[in-house]
Structures are given as structure tokens and as C-alpha cells.
Chains A and B, each alone.
Chain A
Amino acid sequence: MLTSALVSLPTATVGEAAIPATGVFTVAWLLVALPLLGAAVLLLGGRRTDRWGHWLGVLASGSAFLVGAVLMVATLSAPAAERVQDLHLFDWITAGSFELAAGLRIDPLSLSFVMLVTFVGTLIHVYSVSYMEHDASRRRFFAYLNLFVAAMLLLVLADSYVLLFVGWEGVGLASYLLIGFWNHSMPNAVAAKKAFVANRVGDLGLLVAIMILFGAFGATDFETVFSLAGGANEGLLTAAGLMLLLAACGKSAQFPLQAWLGDAMAGPTPVSALIHAATMVTAGVYLVVRSAPVYAGAPNALLVVAIIGAITLLFGAIVGCAKDDIKKTLAASTMSQIGYMMLAAGLGPIGYAFAIFHLVTHGFFKAGMFLGAGSVMHGMHDEVDMRRFGELRKYMKITWITFAAGWLAILGLPPFSGFWSKDKIIETAFATADGQGWQPWVFGTVALVGAGITAFYMSRLYFMTFHGTRRWTGTEGAPAAGQHAQNPHESPALMIWPMIILAVGSIALGGLLAIGDGFVHWLEPVVGHTEHHDPVLPIPVIMGATILLVLAGGFLAWRQYAASPVAVVPPRGSVLTRAARRDLYQDEVNEGLLMRPGQYLTRSLVYGDRQVVDGAATGLARLVASSGEVLRKLQNGYVRSYASTMVAGIVVLVAVVLAFRI
């Protein structure tokens, strides 16, 4: 029943077959090796590298970008049929008949990520040089950042699920280390642990998915799995698809594993920009799009992907409306935007390209806004409460303008980046292959409403921070901030320039990539070519409704937060506001459903372990020791008793042998 609308989608082979990498592509391993080397030097070099370590980190990331750019140019100049390449590195695992080679897959999808990760990553490295200037362990920070870049590139370049898993765990580790970078404060350490545990749940899903695929196809490399997936049984592919989705939910903070992302903002702001906005959290979307051939045979799994995306989209948007912490609002927005991408990916081949398109534009404007938030915090003595900002446009002009570029982009107003990608997703959500059923209406409406809410909360953030009246004098009722005399100022050049470059991207990138559907065609070798499907509503109507809703959301926010005064102490708010402030009680649900029962389970297991297992073990040990004491008495030092032991032994042996003689 549910599947009927989707089964008629083209399920034929998706994308081009890979050819062995030659020529310039054989240097692709440098992409992973350079940042990894940087991390190794910085971690092993210790304090000796303190003085120049951060520049080494920038260099490692920047040179990876250069290598990526070379590969990009080479791929662009190759014909479409030769744009998917496999680079064999070495034979990795050989066990019996199972052989797995470690290799890299260089294709338009992985290259899109490579460019995003290395370009945005390098900008954020540069930004961090200044942002982390006064941190004693800046070198360690750069080591972790490089480690993250290496792991992320390995994740997107891997040519098998097992190697992808290595990168997957690598980014999880780097994320854990960076969220808890200031782990001397307890909440940060707890946040890092929470992120790690939530990710583990997802990782388990990836592991199970790999096992299912290996069990079914006897291989884990993309080439074999994807070529065999076409003929595999649907139930199996559905199971694998759902497990891959679980993995994606963990990594990309999708419902119901989204709770960690807000807390992850405990990390330094550049980390939030790079890992928890632009790159790592989008790995789930990558996984789904990469696994397109698996989902091609599992329409039900694909439908679940879309539903999860739709739920998270609204969930994040609602939470974002109530948060007063600038970074947590941005985190909620990230969650919601990735929900858009998931929704697009869940629509199947017609949505994959738009999911990645939105992922790239979002990487730019969200990273830009996070860096803007970092710049604000830099000037405001690490204050994050938006209720204590206001009127900052007069004090940090460049931050204000670059942030505005990001804000307009995420609102999806033409001609800014977000419009080109988000509008396509909304259009696609209104479309299915046969143009009927409940799905286009539900998904389309959710995407549309989400855009309106997004406009509201992002404008709320923007107006509360940069417009309205200043609330940061620290005179009335500002206990926390009152201790510091706040003196908002513009950030140094090293922080400003990355923001400016990202702002340019936020303004123009979407439009550039959309010229002649360039980006969509670029991805065709990977996700396949699909015919355009007509939405259930005329496109101008959808576009008009979207812009109208966005303007309405923005106006509402302006009226409430720019035109009228904002209370420094948050009002009690409605039931929904209070719920949204607490992440719609997600933590409570997790604690009640999982954590407490889990704790009781472990407690009872520990009790059982102490009483039964340890009891048996110590009892046995006592028995052994006491029998040792007894036997020891036989060793009395008298040679006569030794001799008689021997004689007794011989008598017994001879007697036994003769008695049992057949």
C-alpha cells in the first residue's frame, strides 16, 4: 500500500560503474594523508610544536584543499562516463576467501564533499588561529581539527563500507575530543560523552548494516554491493536501509537520536561551525545518498528516511524558536536543515541531487553564521544569551553584514544561496513519480511550513542580536554578565576574512551552481539521471507560497524582537515554548525510556556479577589456594619422603598399566 507510490520510480542501475583511477587521480590518498600527518606531528611533537603548530594545521588542511581542487579540475575535464574512479591503495583484510582492499572512490559526490570539507575547513582553521589565540592548548586543538579533516575525507572517499566505517568512527572520535575540548568544566565533558553515546547507537546501526550487506553479498565494497543490490530481496534491502538510516540519525542528529547536538555546542565555536554545522553532521545524508542503490530496492526504507527527515525538520524548527542561546538556536536550525536534506534524500532519485545541493549551500551559510556567532561571543566576553545582545550592528559592522548574508540565505530569499537549494527541495517534496497519494501533500506542506518557521526563528536570532535596543550594559538585572564590563568590538582580521569569504558563498554559490542545473548534472554519474516530475501544485504557486510564508515569519520576528523591547529575563511563555526550550522533552524521554532502565539493568548485572560470577571465581580461587596449601605440605624437604612419593607413584603406575592390560 504505502509503497505503491514509489515502486514505479526508476530502480534501474544508479550511476556509472567505477573505472580504475589513473594519472593525477592516483594522488588522491594525499587528501587523507596530509591532514593525518599534520595531526600526527602535532600530537606526537608535543609542546615543541606549540609555537608554529597552528600554522602547520592550516597548511595541512590547505594543501588537502589544493589536492582536492586539482582532482576537481581533472574530473570536470573528464567525460561524464569516466568521472567515477576507484583508487586501489592496498590489500587491507585477507581472511580465507574474503578479501577487502582499501581504496578510495573519487567521483562527483565524494569530490563535492572534499571541496566543501577542505575549503570550509581551511577557512575555519584560519579563523581558529585567531579565535583560539589565548588558549594554552591551541596546538592540541589544531591536531584534533586536522584529525577530523582526515577522518571526514576518509569517510567520504572510502570505496567500501568498512573503510567508510573507519572514517565514520574517526569523525566521531574527533567530535568527542573537540566537544570536550574544555573538559575541565564538567558540563562540557558530559556533553562530549552524550554525543559519543548517541553516536554509538548510530554506529551500531552502521555495523549491523555492514553485516547484513556482507551476509547477503559476501562483500562490503561499494562496487560489488551496488551491482548485486539490484537483484537482492526487498526485505533484506529494507533491513539494511533502515540500519543505515539509524546510523545516519546518530551522526546527523536526526529524530530520535538528535538530543546530543544542542549539548555539543559546548565545544569551541569553530568546532560547532565545522563539525556540527557544515560537515560531520551531514555525513548521514552522504551515507543515504551514497547507498542509493540499496534504497532503490527498498522503497519502504526510503519512505522512513523521508518521514524521519520531515519530523526532524519540524522538531528542530520548533526548538529553534524558543532557545535564547545563540549557538543552541543555530544548532536547532542545523538539525532542521539536515531534516530538509534527509527529506529530499528520502524522496529517492529525484531528491538525491537536491539533498547534496542543499548540503553544500547550507555548509557555507551555516558555517558563516556560526563564525559570526563566534565573532559576537569574542566581542561579548563569551556571552551566548541573545537576550543580553541587541544593537550590535553598530559595534561589529562586518560581522553584522556577513551574518546578514547567511541569514538571508537560510531564509531562502532569492537570489541568495539557500533559495536555489531549499526551494528545489520544497518543490520536489510536492512531487512524486505519479503525482498522487498522500505523500506529496504531507511532505510538501511540512517543508513549506518549516520554511516559514525557519524564517521566524532565524530572524528572531538576527534581530535579537544585531538590532533592537542594547541589553548588554550589564546594569540592570544582569548577574552573570555583570561581572565583566562588556565592550563589543570587531574581531581581528584572521577571523573577519573567513567570514567574508563564506558570506560571498552564502550570497552567490547557490545561484552559480544552479545555472543550467549544473550541480544536478554534475552529480548524475553517481545518483543517476531522473526525469523531472511535476509537483501536485504549479511551481509558481509553491514558490510564491514559500516566499510569502518566509516574509511573514520574518515580519513576525521583526515586530516582536526588533520593533518592541526584548525582556532580558525570558518570559514564562506558553506550554509549547516551555517544551521547546527543553528540546521538546527529548532528554526526559531518553532518560525515562533508555537511561534509567539501562541503569537498573547494569546495576542488576553488576550485582549478579558480584554475587554469582565473582563469587564463583573467588570461591574457586580460594579452593585452589587451599588445595595448594595442602599439596605444599607434601613438599616437606625430607629426601626420604620424596623417594617414597616416587616409589608410590611407580607402584601405582605399574599396577594400573598391568591391571588394564588387555
Chain B
Amino acid sequence: MTAAFVAPEIAWAQLTPVLLVLGAGVIGVLVEAFAPQRVRRPVQLALSLAATAAAIVAVAALWSGVRETGGTVVLDGSIILDGPALVLQGMLALLGLVAFLVIADRTESGEDAFAPSASAVPGSDYEEVARRKGLEQTEVYPLVLFALGGMMIFPAAGDLLTLFVALEVLSLPLYLLSGMARRRRLLSQEASMKYFLLGAFASAFFLFGAALLYGFAGSVRLADIAVATTTVVGMDGLLLAGLVLVLVGLLFKVGAVPFHSWTPDVYQGAPTPITGFMAACTKLAAFGAMLRIVYVVLPPLEWDLMPLLLGVTVITMVVGTVVAIVQTDIKRMLAYSSIAHAGFILVGVVALTQSGISSVLFYLLAYGLATIGAFAIVSLVREVNAGPGGAVVAEATHLSQWSGLGQRHPVLAGAFTLFLLSFAGIPLTAGFAGKFAVFAAAIDGGLAWLVVVGVVASAAAVFFYVRLIVLMFFTDPIGTAGESTTVVRSEGLTTVAIGLGVLGTIALGVFPSPLLDVLADAAVFIP
């Protein structure tokens, strides 16, 4: 009955970036098992930085080959390494590297952002003992590497099963990481729980959609499904329902409305460096996968599925912006801002033009740089316990605690202002070039009305970004709240990360065209 198993020929070289990151994750687990405790952190940090840096080099080495051939089908179609996939892998490795700098920073307090022993019950004696002994949960590094590896596979996945596996590989470490905050542990654990439950829920929908599509096309490969959309007749119900469910799985990951509810709670509860990593990199990976599905499978079904995507795009932009306006917690505000940005990126996705792909890629990098930088700054602004000589404790996340920050820490607040301006899409920042590119792509795609909505929404969004700038620079610290806010000095790693974010944001804002040209070249999916 069954044909003899033919082992696929594997082009290992094409997988180097992914293998480097996942391999470093595996070595990281071994380090946890065998290295003495005191050297674990430096070893893990060096390993992680080396792996991400090596992945960037590997991407660069593969680049010319992909430019010439247009891409390679690897592992019998499970992985497709074409222009967008490679660009996204490079961006993920780069943002992962920057995120590692923030994750590793212990600041002048000597304590990183993670619980000394994440399994200890919050508030228990054991936790206090672990803290006194200076324990560190260095498992964070391999976990992040595994998540990063999953993310790098995600946009390159050529079939639905690989896509699902990658989804789980990237999601499971994130669920865990979300619950490991050193401060406000209950909030963190609640976030982790919610993220896990809702993520599992969304995964189930995704898997169900994949099953329906397999029923329709008899294959899980995207290329086969794309062919089947035009050849198979009479099973439209399966196709459409299946595609909607698969898209829902991805829309959940990018935090599009109405699948966004987890975002504010998780962004708020998770350790801030992880929030930055998750906000930047998960979006990058999920939008990459969504681009592939939309551009490979969707075109024949444009009339059926476009209304859905357009509707989600509009309400995502509107809800993200409107609710962000009434937030009082900075991490929640940034969470809603990320929802609004998901909407803006969707504008580029639904453009269905080649410039749509390159503009989305550009936007994702611009957004990622500013996001990691912004959350890095949030992780440095802390509360001080009341009373003389009060200890520096958790992050000062209430907006009122940020008033007057610019008067005391002009450089830090200046960098934050730059990131906010980039979010708001003010010219000469990367955010402006990105917004301009996606809106231009949508106009090319004949969606001028959507661009009008997008421009109105981004105009409204300027309000809450600029309000924060006004708060930092032009409002005097209010009474005790102001006095109780301080900025801890970074060990240097976070400073480097913020510096890279600032540099990237300005460079991409002032000279966007070189990168846009490269992306325009790379923006072709192969089936």
C-alpha cells in the first residue's frame, strides 16, 4: 500500500541560521546541567550572543545565493528559504541579540528581571532564601534561544504542520518566561497562565483549521493548497473555514482585535525584558507567516477573505488607539500601542502588492527596534520604597510616576521620546518611513479608504505618545510620587541595547531607502 519511505535530501547549509540558534539552546541546557553555578550566567550570555551573532553572519552568507536563485525549498518543502524568510530570520537574530542585552542586564542593584527561583511560591520563605543566596534562573537564556529558533522557522515554514510545530516551539518558552518576573510575581504568574490558556485555545483553532485544509486539499503544503483552491470544486466550506481558523491562530499571535485580549495582561505581567522581546520578535515571526499564507494561498480567494481581513485591520487600528488613550499603566499603554501597530502592519499585508511585503518587513524592523528600546527603558525606571534609604523595588509603571523624568534624566527620557516619536510616526524616525511605506503600498493596492482610516488612527495615537513626552519634560514631578521614582544604572548592556535602538531608529528614519531597496528586491515568496 504505502510507498517506500524516501529520505529527503536535506540542504543543511540553508538551515544554518536556525540550527545555530536551536543548537545553542541545546548546549545551554547542558550548561545548566553541568556548569558550576557561578559561571553559568557569563557562559550562557556569551553563548546566546555568539549564537545570534553567528546567525546574522549565516544569514548574510546565504543572502547572495537567495538573491540569485530566488530561494530554496528545503526538507522536501517543509522549510522554504526565500527572500522574505531569510530577511525575517536576519531581523529576528538581530532583534534577539539586542533583546539578550536587555535580558542579561542586572543593573546596579545586582538583580536581573527574573525570579531567583521561579518555582518558589510567591512570598514564601524559600523564595527569600533563594534571593539571599543570589540564585539566578539562568534557564532563561536557552528558553529565549528556543523561542527565537521557533520564530525563525515560523516565517519559513512551507507546510501547516511545520508551521504548527514552530508555533508551539516559540510559544511554550514564552508562556514560561512570562511567569518568571522577580517583582510582582503573582501578576506575572497570572499573565503566564492567561497567555498559556488563551494560546492553547488559539493553537487548537489553528490546528482545527489545518485539519480542515488538509481535508480540502489532501495536503498540508501551502503550495498544494494554493493549487487546490483553483482545481478542487465543491468544498469551499472546508477551504474558507479552514483558512479563517488558520488566520485566527496567526492573528492571535500578532494581537489583532478581537484576539488581542491577552496582550495587555501579558505585556504588563511578564518580566519587562521578555515583554520587549516578545512584542518585537513574536510580531515579526507571526506577520512573516501571515504574509506567506496571504500571498501564497489567498489571492484566488481575495473576494471571499478580504472583507474579513479588512474588517480586522480597521477595528484593530481603532480599538488599539482608542483604548491606549485611556491607559494609566505604561506597559499596558505600550501593549495597546502594539495592538494599534498590528493594525497598521495589517494595512501593508492586505495591500496584496509586492511593495506590501517589503513595507511590512521594514515596518516590523522599525517597530521592533523601538519596542525593545522602549521596554528596556521601562525596565530601568523604578519605584523607591517610602521611608529613608528606601530600597529600589519594582518598575514604576504608573504614568504619573514618569512625570518630570526628563528634567532629572534628560538622556534616558530623550531616548524614550525618540522611540515614542517613532511609534507615532513622526518624520525622520524609522516609524515614519515604515508607516509611509505601508500606507503607500495600500494606496498602490487600491485601498485609499483604508489609508484614510489608518492616518486618522495614527493621528489620534499621537495624542497618547505626546502626552507621555509632555509628562516627562514639561510636568513637574507630583509630590511624593515623583520623589519615589528613580532610574537605576544599567550594567552597560541595556545602555548598549538602547543605543542600538536609537541608532537604528534614526538611521532608518533619515536614510530609509537603502533598506527599502534591499527589501523590495527580496520581497518575492516562492511557493
Contacts and interface: CB of A to CB of B under 8 A. Distances in A.
Contacts of A658: 237, 240-241
A625 B323 CA distance: 8
B258 interface: yes
Interface in A644-662: 645-646, 648-650, 653-654, 656-658, 660-662
Given A648-B258, A650-B244, A650-B248, A656 B308 contact: yes
Interface residues of B, number: 36
B268 to A, nearest CB: 10
Contacts of A631: 319, 322-323
A650 B265 contact: no
Contacts of A642: 194, 198, 261-262
B326 interface: yes
Interface stretch (A355-363, A529-537, A632-640): A632-640
Contacts of B194: 639, 642
Nearest to B319: A631
A135 interface: no
Nearest to A636: B261
B201 interface: yes
A653 B244 contact: yes
Contact of A629 (B201, B244, B326): B326
State which size class the interface on A falls in: 20 to 34
B307 to A, nearest CB: 6
B305 A637 contact: no
B202 interface: yes
Contacts of A649: 248, 258-259
B198 A646 contact: yes
A183 B307 CA distance: 64
A627 B326 CA distance: 9
Given A639-B194, A643-B201, A649-B258, A660 B307 contact: yes
A635 B240 CA distance: 30
Interface in B274-324: 303-305, 307-308, 311-312, 319, 322-324
A624 interface: yes
A646 B194 CA distance: 13
A657 B305 contact: yes
B308 A635 contact: no
Given A637-B265, A657-B308, A625 B325 contact: yes
Contacts of A627: 322
B259 A646 contact: yes
Contacts of A656: 307-308, 311
A657 B261 contact: no
Interface residues of A, dominant DSSP: helix
Given A639-B198, A643-B201, A653-B248, A661 B304 contact: yes
A17 B86 CA distance: 59
A628 interface: yes
A628 B240 contact: no
B293 to A, nearest CB: 15
A645 B263 CA distance: 13
Contacts of B248: 646, 649-650, 653
Contacts of B252: 646
Contacts, number: 83
A645 B261 CA distance: 8
A654 B326 contact: no
B460 A624 contact: yes
A657 B244 contact: yes
Contacts of A632: 323, 326
B323 A661 contact: no
B325 A624 contact: yes
B47 to A, nearest CB: 36
A634 B308 CA distance: 22
A397 B193 CA distance: 98
A661 B241 CA distance: 11
Contacts of B205: 650
Contacts of A635: 261, 264-265, 323
B76 interface: no
Given A635-B261, A657-B241, A660-B304, A646 B322 contact: no
Contacts of A648: 258
Nearest to B325: A628
Contacts of A637: 265
A625 B326 contact: yes
A143 to B, nearest CB: 28
Centre residue among A632, A646, A648 by max chain B CB count within 10 A: A646
B483 interface: no
B245 interface: yes
A293 to B, nearest CB: 40
B409 to A, nearest CB: 26
Given A627-B322, A646-B202, A649-B259, A654 B241 contact: yes
A656 B153 CA distance: 32
Centre residue among A625, A629, A650, A661 by max chain B CB count within 10 A: A650
A648 B261 CA distance: 13
B369 to A, nearest CB: 28
Contacts of A621: 463
B60 interface: no
B513 to A, nearest CB: 15
B197 interface: yes
Contacts of B259: 646, 649
Interface in B445-469: 460, 463
B304 A646 contact: no
A629 B241 CA distance: 34
B308 A653 contact: yes
Contacts of B237: 658, 661
Nearest to B258: A649
A632 B248 CA distance: 22
A659 to B, nearest CB: 10
A653 to B, nearest CB: 5
Interface string B58-97: 0000000000000000000000000000000000000000
B236 interface: yes
B262 A628 contact: no
B142 to A, nearest CB: 28
Contacts of A657: 240-241, 244, 304-305, 307-308
A477 to B, nearest CB: 55
Contact of B236 (A628, A634, A661): A661
Q: Which 6 A-B pairs have the closest CB atoms?
A: A649-B258, A642-B261, A628-B326, A628-B322, A639-B194, A631-B323
Interface of B: 193-194, 197-198, 201-202, 205, 236-237, 240-241, 244-245, 248, 252, 258-259, 261-262, 264-265, 303-305, 307-308, 311-312, 319, 322-326, 460, 463
Given A628-B325, A646-B201, 11 more contacts: A624-B460, A625-B325, A631-B323, A639-B193, A639-B198, A642-B194, A642-B262, A654-B240, A654-B245, A656-B308, A658-B240
30 contacts: A624-B325, A625-B325, A627-B322, A628-B322, A628-B323, A628-B325, A631-B319, A632-B323, A634-B261, A635-B261, A635-B265, A639-B198, A641-B261, A642-B261, A643-B198, A643-B201, A645-B261, A646-B248, A646-B252, A646-B258, A646-B259, A649-B248, A653-B308, A653-B312, A656-B308, A657-B241, A657-B307, A660-B304, A661-B237, A662-B303
